[in-house]
Structure 1
Amino acid sequence: MNRRPTLLTALALTATAALTLSACGSDNDKAGGTQADGGNKRASVSTSAATSPDRPKIELPADLELTFEGGETGDPVKDAILADNAERMRAVDAAITGTDPEGKALAFYNTGKALQAAQDWVAQFEEAGATLTGEARYYDREVTLTGDRSATLVFCADESRGFSKDKKTNEIHKTPVTKNSYVLYNTRLDKNVEGVWQTSQIISTRGATQCQP
């Protein structure tokens, strides 16, 4: 039995289907929104994370755009965390859209539960023959250091203009904007031996009051 149409419907079920899971594959939100990472833009995100020769280069299709607000706090540690988190989001979308088919960036910026959740979400898109298109905006990004090598990052996402797209037909599965198009993310990041702040855990709450426009 061909499950592809059913999966495509599921991916487009809410206005934020792809974004929620592409954003991190949350522990409590297994069918989230739609959205994409910003082409090759990094918006206001610090570029320090992208300059290291050891870091994978992430490229995305031109029809995907992610915007990250508040990328520079004045604190170099917090700025590095924000930058690596932004690269993580871009890495998930790169794996979904096929610009990083081996998932090298995905594994570089994720670890533990967050890595497994992201890999599972990418696999669902592959099975459905779907990709991502549109825009997403990440804002109210607040970092709290919990140790020399650990931190939490809480932020909101506007995923109202991101959608899943059929790879073969290029049909875009648009969905209406609702309160669930806005998502609160609570993440944990751990600094590995190479100095990369990897996302290790993530929880998302759809329709969170503090993220509504």
Structure 2
Amino acid sequence: MHRRRPTLLAALTLTAAATLTLSACGSDGSPGKGEGEIAGSDAGDESSASPSPSSTSTAAAGRPKVELPPDLRLTFEDAETGDPVKDAVLADNAERMRAVDAAISGTDPEGKALGFYNTGKALEAAVSWVGQFEKANATVTGHVRFFDRDVTLKGTTSAVLTFCADESKGFSKDKETGEVTKTPVTKDSYVQYNTRLDKNADGVWQTSQILSTRGAAQCQA
């Protein structure tokens, strides 16, 4: 029997886990508003995007290998700053974003990477969001581009990272029927994120807090 998906999950964005997280972090954002504004289907231009960080960052600290299905692609710009510490923050944040989608799409069914790259409230909210996808029998497909990624170090074990996401080419997909939900691109297809990462004893920069502003003017393409 076909499962009926909740209205909220009818057109999910690939990175909506962060939107859910902001409610746990005390943001004044509005989870559930704007999650459906995703459209487009072509892969887009990757000329300024970095290669997948999973190929270069999995060896250290016993990092789990994060794999995504072939119909799902995330690209991360501004991956190299010239500062090795900032670059490590950017790499682990990228793996965090990939880990959420790996858990949703089923390539990491046990959520090993999810727990590896998240901690505290960010982990709780990410797990909850993945669970909502499971209840809706939905997965994710398409392409999301992350850009304007900027790191500010706060001492030796804490950092603030802000970045934008272009979700205009990301889709939700019904697992049972394979139907892809498409909606028009609007300003809410672009999201600004403000995150905190803390370096654990193994040297991994885990996301502990993440706030988002959907439709932020500074992230409009």
Task: Give the TM-score, by structure 1 length.
Answer: 0.88
Matched with 2:168 is 160
Matched, 1:140 2:148: yes
Unaligned runs of 5+ in 1: none
Contact 2:190 2:216 in 1 (8 A): yes
Amino acid at match of 2:31: K
Matched with 1:20 is 15
Matched with 1:10 is 8
Aligned residue for 2:15, secondary structure, equals helix
Match of 1:71 among 65, 79, 97: 79
Alignment of 1:20-59 (within 5 A): 20-23=15-18, 25-27=20-22, 28-31=29-32, 32=35, 43-44=50-51, 48-52=56-60, 54-59=62-67
Alignment of 1:75-90 (within 5 A): 75-90=83-98
For 1:53 and 1:191, the matched residues in 2 are separated by: 12
Contact 1:185 1:203 in 2 (8 A): yes
Matched, 1:173 2:181: yes
For 2:67 and 2:18, the matched residues in 1 are separated by: 16
Matched with 1:185 is 193
Matched, 1:109 2:117: yes
Aligned residue for 1:59, secondary structure, equals coil
Amino acid at match of 2:166: D
Deviation at 1:176, TM superposition (A): 1.2
Match of 1:151 among 154, 159, 181: 159
Aligned residue for 2:208, secondary structure, equals strand
For 2:169 and 2:190, the matched residues in 1 are separated by: 11
| RMSD, aligned CA | 2.3
Alignment of 1:89-128 (within 5 A): 89-128=97-136
For 1:72 and 1:45, the matched residues in 2 are separated by: 13
Deviation at 1:10, TM superposition (A): 1.9
Deviation at 1:5, TM superposition (A): 2.3
Give the share of equivalent positions with the same residue, in percent. 64
